[in-house]
Structures are given as C-alpha cells and as structure tokens.
Chain A
Amino acid sequence: MAVLEAFRLTKSFFDGKEEVPVLKEISLHLERGEVVGLEGPSGSGKTTLLFILGCLLSPTSGRVVIEGREADPNRLPELRRTSIGLVFQHFHLFSALTALENVEYAMNIKGMGGAAARREAERILEVVEMSDRRGARPRDLSGGQKQRVAIARALVGHAAIILADEPTASIDARLAGQILELFGRLARDENRAVLIVSHDPKVRGVADRIIRMQDGQLLD
C-alpha cells in the first residue's frame, strides 16, 4: 500500500498579475521500503513538489494523501510531525545543541520526552553510526557527520516518509556515497519510503526507481 499518494497536483504562482504554472497535473506514489530518486533541471519544479509532498505548501489543486490521511491545509503541521522526516542540503542542525540533543529535540517536538526520548535518540544515532560523536556540536562535525545527524533527526517519531533535498550536495563524493547507502539501508531495514531530490548520479545506484521532471511535469 502506498504511504504517500499525490493526485493531479498543480501549483501556480503569480508574477504580478500573470499566473505562472510551476506544477502541471502531477500524480505519483511512494511505497514503504523503496528509495525513489527525483531528477530534473533547475526550474523544473522539483523543490515545489518536495514542498507540497513535505506538507510545507498546499497545492493550487489536486490532493496529497499521507498514510491514508488527506493533507488539508489545516493538518499540514500535524502531518509533518507524525509522518514526515526532512533532510536538507545545508543540514540545518541547531548549532547550540549537541548531536544527541538535535535528535532528542526533534523527538520532543513530536511529543516524546524524558528518558524514553533520550534512549530513542541514542538508538537512532547508533543506526546512522554517530554514537561516538553524540556530544559534539555541529561546528565540530564534518559535513558527512552533520548530514548523518540530520538524517537521524528525520527518522525520529517513526516517520514513514523521508524527503531529502540534495542531501549530498554539501559533502564530498566519498561521504556522499556513504550517505546514499544509509538512505538505502533505512528504506530496507526500517521500512520507510525515501524520496531523494538530487542532481547526483550516484542516487541511481541506490534508488529503486527514478522520477524525472521537466517544465513542471513528470516525464515517465
């Protein structure tokens, strides 16, 4: 069963009085346990689609259903909290918190607190092989390590869907390979759906399927 379904999504922005369509009738789905790569040239609408799938933006028309729940504008924060984990190109870790606290804080936001949250945060850091750096602040971590912590943060609360925006763009090629392998392992071992937006050709190596976009439309 699809954990995320999008039906005939459109999105338009206004440039003055002129309506600019960015997404045109896009439908797609993500299954648990699969890694999907989203490719396309700049300006093709990838990021806007990611915003909508990540419940950060509402479409102009069309529907998004996440784990059987309609993504109404009023429910977007709740869906982000319960079902979606986001990984950003520039990590966006909290600089004042340690690696462990970054993960634990995300758990707090998702409603889990106390010793249980701390234990779960430690477990997730182990999954991304960052246990030995749990006490380090982001400024003391390498790019790859930061991205691992960011991925760990996206995993908390048993998020069924992991959406990653250019997760390897800010790290070197060797670490990029490790990060992509981690996404593949998470999809398989933890039964999550992973959507990676990237220009990195190495994504093809871990993706179960690739979706390509151009001019606001899916090509395949």
Chain B
Amino acid sequence: MVDLATKILLDDKTRFLTTVSGVAFAVMLVIVQVGIFLGMLESASITIDRMDADLWVCAKNTPNIDFANTFPELYVHRVRSIPGVLQADNLIVWFVTVALPNGAKEAAIVYGLEDFPRWRFPWDVVSGDPADLRRGRYVFVDDSAERRFGTFEEGEYREFLGLRLKIIGRTRQARSFTTNPIAFLDYRVAQALAPLDLRRRTTYIIVKLEPGADVEAIRAEIRRRLPYNDVRTKQEWADRSRGYWVENTGLGLSMFVTVFLGCLVGVVVVAQTSYTATIEHFKEFATVKAIGGCNADIYRIIARQATISALVGFSIGAAMAHAVRPLLAGLDLKLIIHPTLVGNVFVGAVALCLGASLISFRKIAGLDPAVVFRS
C-alpha cells in the first residue's frame, strides 16, 4: 500500500519539524513539570516512606510531617504496653535555625530519635554511624544542605538554635518538601534545642507492629488510650503529608495550569499546522475523492499524519525530558519520571494530536471533488 499520509508529511520537512517541535516541547514541558512535582511530593513524605514504622501517632489535626505539634512524651508507654506492638518510640520533628560560619542563619528540620538504627533511619548514610548520635551533641547533616549551608566536613561544628553540635556524619536524599535540609540528632538533644516547647514533650510516636498483628485493632486501642491524638498508618500519613501541599498551597492548581498550558501549546501548534497542511493539500484531497476515495480515506490520511507527528514529537520530547534530568539535579530539583507518567503523556499526546486534527476533518467533510476540474 502506498503511504500517502507519510509521504505528504515528510515532503514538507520544515512543516513537519514545526509540528514535531510543538509536540516535543509540550511533551517535555508536561513530563518535566509533573516530574518535578512528583519529585517535590516525594520529599514531602520521604521520611515517612523510609521510616520502618507501621503506625504514626500525631497531635490532633497535624497537617503534615513538617508542621508538628507537641504532646506529652510519656504517652509512648501507653502505646508500648499494647499487645501486638513490637516497638514504639518518641520522634521529634522540629524546625530550627542554623548559624552559619559567615554569620547568616538558615532553616533546617531536625529529626530526634533515641535509637536510629532500630528504625533503619536515616536510610541513605554517606558517612558516619547513626548509632553514635546517642553519645551527645552530635548531628548528621544531609548533603543537600551544602547549597544553603556552604561546604561542611565531618568534625566541624554548627550552631543549631544556639547549641553547638559536632557534625559526625552525612546523609543523602533527606530533604523536606520546602527544600529545607534535614539533620538527625539524639532525641534528648532535640528537646534541648527548644526547651520551652519540647521539655518532656514529643511530636510523634512511631510504632512498629509484630508480624501478623491486626493493624486496625491496635490502631483502635491506641485511639482509645490516646483520645486526643490521631493515629495513622504509614500510607495514610504519607498521603496526608503530600496532600497538604497539593491542596492547601495552590501548588496542585499551579501544576495543573502549567500542564494545561503545555497541552494547549501542543494542540494549537498541531491544529494550526495540520489545518494549514490540509488547506495546502486541498486539491490533492479533492483528487483522492475524484478518483474514488471517500471522506474516510482522507480522514485516515490526516489522522495518520497526526499520529506520526505525535509519535515522533513524543519520542523527542521524552528524550529531552530525560536529558534535562542531570541539569535539574544540579539545581537540587529531583525529576521523577514514572513509566505510568510516560505512558499517560504518550496516550495524551496521541489523543491531543488526533483531537487537533479534527478541525481539518470538518474542512474535509465539505470538500467538493469537482474543484479539481476548476484549476
């Protein structure tokens, strides 16, 4: 079979490149934007995802992991005594300011635990032994802090809320949604940072259940014993923490608008070039009808051209999105490209290109094959 659609499409390479560029740009924009968004969302719940805990006990209505409220630390005993609970510990998550050697101050989030190894936390240790944090005024700092804190080495000191702590280890990937770096220190040291707020108080109780334990039954029992707290599963708490940023900050809407604009650019470019190409090949399409073809034959040509443009544009756009990954990583932006996202963008690109070609279909529907006799 003669592939008239492809031959016409490739006959005008400039137009083809314009169409493909429009699609590629839109695809890249959508993948990068959504990928960055997913990367940020991952940061919003990464500590929950990585902590080896099944249940989280929080102060009532705590919106997300970073915005913690306090409650008495002795509540932990009420949780530990429940049958089926393997281990339960207090965890402090607190915003602090860090005094830098140049005199500036920067924000960070500290995670205070009594026994880090027991919770396999932090999860990506570059250097140092988290078990050493129990010994006193020590701290692990994440590599991502270098962008804000400047370079630092193990053995150096930094002042956290006026308390000098010695850096004894480094981690990776520990960064909050707001890009504040995370530091890890002993639970008692964390309380000492903010004695007015944290003396004999904690912000979370993390709970590990025995294998095969009834999660809902234990959760119900914790709720009975701690009626003024919320108890969430790991997944619920991660979803809530991510959902806060999507729903309460306008970030979700902002991403939706950007994705919409990306799609709009792609559709407009494809619709415009497809329509112009249809007008320019009007006589050829009329000839198709005159030699026995019908509207469906011409629709197939236009639809095939739109699909080819979508496929080529998508491939280039997706490759470009992958190519900018290292660039964004250098800017501390994590780009997450899930196969699901790629699949959805692919389907969307094809659907939108086909949709954009509908405007040409309308023109073809009224095409009179007799025009080929007139000129």
Residue of A with least CB distance to B375: A90
Determine whether A97 belongs to the interface, using a CB cutoff of 8 Å to chain B.
Answer: yes
Whether a CB of chain A sits under 8 angstroms from the CB of B292 is yes
A80 contacts partner chain B, Cβ-Cβ < 8 Å: yes
Q: B residues 280-294 with Cβ under 8 Å of A?
A: 283-284, 286-294
Is A106 in contact with chain B by the CB < 8 A criterion? yes
Q: Is the CB of A101 within 8 A of B291?
A: no
In whole angstroms, how far apart are the Cα atoms of A157 and B292 in the complex?
10
- Decide: A94 and B4 in contact? CB cutoff 8 A: yes
Determine the interface band of chain B, counting residues with CB < 8 A from chain A. Answer: 20 to 34
Q: A105 — nearest CB in chain B belongs to which residue? A: B2
Residues of A within 8 A of B290 (CB): 54, 56, 80, 86, 88, 92
Query: Is A122's beta carbon under 8 Å from chain B?
Result: no
The interface bits of chain B over 285-327 (1 if a CB of A lies within 8 angstroms of the residue's CB, else 0) are 0111111111001000000000000000000000000000000
Known: A82-B292, A86-B291. Is A165-B373 also a contact (CB below 8 A)? yes
Interface residues of B in 127-147 (CB under 8 A from A): none
Residues of B within 8 A of A57 (CB): 370
Indicate if B262 sits at the interface (CB-CB under 8 A): no
Residue A153 lies at the interface, judged by CB distance under 8 Å to chain B: yes
B4 to chain A: which residues have CB within 8 Å? 94, 96-97, 105
Q: Is the CB of A109 within 8 A of B291?
A: yes
Give CA–CA (A153, B370) in the complex, Å: 17
Interface: A21 (CB within 8 A): no
Least Cβ distance of A199 to chain B in Å?
15
Q: Determine if A50 is an interface residue (Cβ-Cβ < 8 Å).
A: yes
Given contacts A51-B370, A57-B370, A90-B375, contact A101 B7 (CB under 8 A): yes
Task: Tell me the nearest residue of chain A to B7, going by C-beta.
Answer: A96
Q: Which of A95, A97, A109 contacts B292 (CB 8 A)?
A: A109
- Chain A nearest CB: distance from B366 CB in Å? 14
- B293's partner among A92, A95, A96, A109 (CB-CB below 8 A) is A109
Confirm or deny: B347 has a beta carbon within 8 angstroms of a beta carbon on chain A. no
**With a CB–CB cut-off of 8 A, which chain A residues contact B293?**
77, 81, 109
- For residue A16, CB closer than 8 A to chain B, the reply is no
Q: Nearest chain B CB to A163's CB is how many angstroms away?
A: 10
User: For B294, what are the chain A residues with a Cβ–Cβ distance below 8 Å?
Assistant: 77
Tell me if A201 counts as interface (CB < 8 A to partner B): no
Cβ of A104 < 8 Å from any Cβ of B?
yes
Please report the number of residue pairs spanning A and B whose Cβ atoms sit closer than 8 angstroms.
80
Interface centre among B8, B290, B368 (most CB of A within 10 A): B290
Q: Could you mark each residue 56-86 of chain A with 1 if its beta carbon is under 8 Å from any beta carbon of chain B, else 0?
A: 1100000000000000000001001110111
Complex alpha-carbon distance, A51 and B373, angstroms:
9
Q: How many residues of A contact B (CB 8 A)?
A: 35
Q: What is the CA–CA distance of A95 and B292 in the complex, to the nearest angstrom?
A: 18
**Contact between B291 and A153 (Cβ–Cβ < 8 Å)?**
yes
Contact of B1 with A by CB under 8 A: yes
A86, A94, A104, A114 pick with most chain B CB within 10 angstroms:
A94
Whether B292 pairs with A81 at a CB distance below 8 angstroms is yes
A188 on the B face (CB < 8 A): no
Tell me, in angstroms, the Cα distance from A174 to B341 when the chains sit together: 65
| Any A CB within 8 A of the CB of B372 | yes
| A108 sits at the interface (CB 8 A) | yes
Contact between chains at B287 and A108 (CB < 8 Å): no
Q: Is B216 an interface residue (CB 8 A)?
A: no
Complex contacts, A42 vs chain B, CB 8 Å: none
Tell me whether A50 and B373 are in contact (CB under 8 A).
Answer: yes
B373 nearest CB across to chain A (Å): 5
Decide: A96 and B292 in contact? CB cutoff 8 A. no
List residues 243-290 of chain B with CB under 8 A from any CB of chain A: 283-284, 286-290
**Which residues on A sit within 8 Å (CB–CB) of B286?**
92
Measured between beta carbons, the chain A residues less than 8 angstroms from B283 are 92
Would you give 29 A-B contacts (Cβ < 8 Å), ordered by A?
A51-B373, A56-B290, A56-B370, A57-B370, A77-B289, A80-B291, A80-B292, A88-B287, A88-B372, A89-B373, A92-B284, A92-B286, A92-B372, A95-B11, A96-B4, A96-B7, A96-B10, A96-B11, A97-B2, A101-B7, A106-B292, A108-B1, A109-B292, A109-B293, A110-B291, A110-B292, A113-B1, A114-B1, A154-B291
**B residues neighboring A (CB under 8 Å):** 1-2, 4, 7-8, 10-11, 283-284, 286-294, 297, 368-370, 372-373, 375
Q: Which 5 A-B pairs have CB atoms at the shortest separation, nearest pair first?
A: A81-B292, A96-B11, A96-B7, A105-B2, A92-B287
